[in-house]
Amino acid sequence: MRVRNVKNKDEILAQSHHVILNYKDYCNKWNKLFQNNNPIYLEIGPGKCKHLYLQAKEHPDINYIGLEQNASIVAIALSKMEEELDNLILINANANEIDSIFDHEIDLLFLNFSDPWPKKRHAKRRLTSLEFLNKYDSIFKDKCYIYQKTDNMGLFEYSLMSYSEKGYKIKDISLDYHQREDKDNIMTEYEEKFSKKGQPIYMVKVEK
Domains of the chain, residue spans: 37-207
Domain 37-207 annotated CATH 3.40.50.1170: no
Contact of 69 with 93, CB cutoff 8 Å: yes
pTM: 0.93
pLDDT in tens, the chain (208 residues): 566 788 898 999 999 999 999 999 999 999 999 999 999 999 999 988 999 999 999 999 999 999 999 999 999 999 989 889 999 999 999 999 999 999 999 999 999 999 999 999 999 999 999 999 999 999 999 899 999 999 999 999 999 999 999 999 999 999 988 888 777 788 788 788 877 787 899 999 999 9
The one catalytic residue in 25, 99, 115, 182 is 115
The CA distance from 43 to 96, in Å, is: 14
Active site residue 115: yes
Residue 32, Cβ density class (10 Å: 0-12 exposed, 13-18 middle, ≥19 buried): exposed
